Structure 1
């Protein structure tokens, strides 16, 4: 059971113990350098003009884009919120709004790791306060800490980087982890490196977990008094209609059933496409934009009529049953789930951990996911307990979708149960806000460290 009050344990970050951390940190740093050297050919390829890591590479190495980012004023309260990718960025949206409301004179900066996360963050928070998270080298981390001079660092989910935690502790910056989780897949790896994690997680000022099980695991790894406080992702409001959604609604032939397959990963489209009914309009939205061309080639080879939406929206034409549509843009999927008779959320059909089913669920849509949902265990478990989601492996998905399309009343009831779960499980943002604000009270300096 997740605690619903804001009474959480907070501890100031203790001084690191060099005798404990230095040998392990030396090994970690050496391993990081060796890994970078071993993967140098891959990095060189990705740093080409079309490579996905070229953008923001200098920022990752500690170079501050001063022309774009506004430096905080002297004495200004500064919050650094780190959200790895799209899911974490979206989870942070209500919290950033609440922080800005509670602290109108504070400045919020948001960092991301992925390019798609960066695009969404800049659209939601403004490019002048969004940047790429530094690589876990002392020189890069210190450069950003010097520039931002954060009053508080907030890590969304379990984004633990040893060097970052050490440098933050050495400069006396309180670090809070919110929406924290440790998946079944990650737990054995954390346990094997428990000797490294215990002193590092002991520097954290606040740890707010998604569930009691996550809190237990974090406490076992040395996180001070981790508390279960709920999942921020339930607090995202249902996506609002967009012009593209309105265009598609007008163009899709009346009565044509629509499937929306969102956040699919490499290999999933090729497996799913032959199993989906051909009389539907099917919209495919790959998770990663660098795969748009690959999926376009797959649709071209399918023999079915198809169109990328980037092309279709320039000259909208009627969309007949059997048409395949490719969403080849970033940040537009969530509202398009409103088209679906059935929403299929990818990431779990090849056991890659799954993706968040709450976007279609919040719209009252029946959701089908694969059996590999380890990264969203708490959400899926909650939905399953209310009979508000369908889980199907590849052998069962054809029948599962056919049943939902054949029985609209059953599909609608499934979707309404999912919507009700989203509403009943919301509220974590206000509890997180209440726990974070006391950390912004003046704290004793811990020294600067070297």
Structure 2
């Protein structure tokens, strides 16, 4: 099986090279790994101890942040190195001050894994949620470096648990300890005789709670939304924006803040053409006197979304008509009812928030209009959903503390 995996890694690189001629993300993927070994050798200290944390992309890095912050508090002598598979994750981390070193992860080959570990010499390695790179995991385990998987979740239909899944399951045994989000994941692992695991919960709850607790105002947005019913639509795709266009026609008094997943010029212009009275955030000024002339505020930057939801009456989170639902906890923490599309079954928090009464799934424009009509016209219904959303987040905090309790009990790091 390992030879099939190695062939896959080889051809993946080849495909990315071909795609890079037309695809900007593929180009960044390649450019970011150029001269990676020289960068590592030049930037990393020769003596300071390092904790290495790997996240696939932006969402997983949000899960890593509470852990990084606690590491800095509890183990200040250690430097934190973060790696990423995707350009979006790397770009999201560039301005994050608590990570001392940020790199793309070199491609997973046996040679690369050994070379990387020889340079970094980590005292502890943490992989976030998923991304199982065989050679890295095996090399870490063979060197007896503590290796943790955090905020993970498992389903019975994953490759680990299929009849052909021995190769994949073997990677789970490389971990020193696996922290899962829920009882279902724990039971699935235990049924496979994987017992080096425990329930911690999801560190995203700690992350969004910290953002809410340390909220900083966005004055222009506050003035745009003052005393108005507002829908904040985050991480939207064209499929989501098509529904919002129909909704705007049915609710002309409803204001919109739209933070699309992609902020390239073509996508922004498409939103401007769809939604009524649009304005770009970047083209407005804090002293703008005519904000009330606009019905739609388009956020054409990255990094604001987790604060924007506070300004809405209702939140819409995109992705569940396309690639997969984006982060609904960023909205729920502020006590905002959350609406999203039909493809949410792989997201535990979506199913649980629906059951709690703080979220609603829709399948078409008529569904969306009906939900909005109920929430805007029935203050009791809005209050109940809002309280359910806030309580759901509050009741699920604490994953970071549970992870650190295990780190300390097992003495995986020394102060």
TM-score (norm 1): 0.82
* 1:308 alignment counterpart: 280
1:271-304 CA distance string (max 9 Å, x none) = 4322343322211112234xx3232222232372
Cα distance, 1:205 vs structure 2 = 0.6
1:67–1:229 distance in 2 versus 1, CA, 3 Å: closer
1:31–1:220 distance in 2 versus 1, CA, 3 Å: farther
Residue 27 of structure 1 pairs with residue 4 of structure 2: yes
* 1:255 alignment counterpart: 227
| Higher alpha-carbon deviation: 82-91 or 357-366 | 82-91
- Within the candidate set 22, 47, 53, 1:45 is matched to 22
- Within the candidate set 343, 359, 370, 1:389 is matched to 359
1:84-118 CA distance string (max 9 Å, x none) = 22222122222111112111111111122333322
Matched positions, count: 407
Residue 36 of structure 1 pairs with residue 8 of structure 2: no
2 CA distance for matches of 1:126 and 1:220? 38
Q: What are the equivalent positions in structure 2 for 1:279-358 lying under 5 Å apart?
A: 279-289=253-263, 292-302=264-274, 304-313=276-285, 316-320=288-292, 323-350=295-322, 352-358=323-329
Structure 1: 5+ residue runs without aligned partners? 1-23, 443-450
* Kept in 1: contact 2:160–2:168 (CA 8 A): no
Cα distance, 1:217 vs structure 2 = 3.0
> What secondary structure is seen at the aligned counterpart in 2 of 1:374?
coil
1 CA distance for matches of 2:49 and 2:99? 19
Let me know the Cα RMSD of the aligned residues: 2.7
> What secondary structure is seen at the aligned counterpart in 1 of 2:231?
strand
Cα distance, 1:312 vs structure 2 = 1.9
Cα distance, 1:123 vs structure 2 = 2.4
Cα distance, 1:241 vs structure 2 = 4.0
* Kept in 1: contact 2:68–2:98 (CA 8 A): no
2 CA distance for matches of 1:308 and 1:343? 19
1:38–1:159 distance in 2 versus 1, CA, 3 Å: closer
Residue 111 of structure 1 pairs with residue 83 of structure 2: yes
> What secondary structure is seen at the aligned counterpart in 1 of 2:20?
helix
Residue 414 of structure 1 pairs with residue 408 of structure 2: no
Residue 209 of structure 1 pairs with residue 183 of structure 2: no
| Higher alpha-carbon deviation: 355-364 or 139-148 | 139-148
Cα distance, 1:178 vs structure 2 = 0.6
| Higher alpha-carbon deviation: 305-314 or 255-264 | 305-314
Q: What are the equivalent positions in structure 2 for 1:139-158 lying under 5 Å apart?
A: 139-158=111-130
2 CA distance for matches of 1:342 and 1:406? 12
> What secondary structure is seen at the aligned counterpart in 2 of 1:217?
helix
- Within the candidate set 57, 64, 70, 1:85 is matched to 57
1:47-88 CA distance string (max 9 Å, x none) = xxxx224346355467146499741342x4321111222222
Cα distance, 1:43 vs structure 2 = 2.9
2 CA distance for matches of 1:376 and 1:90? 16
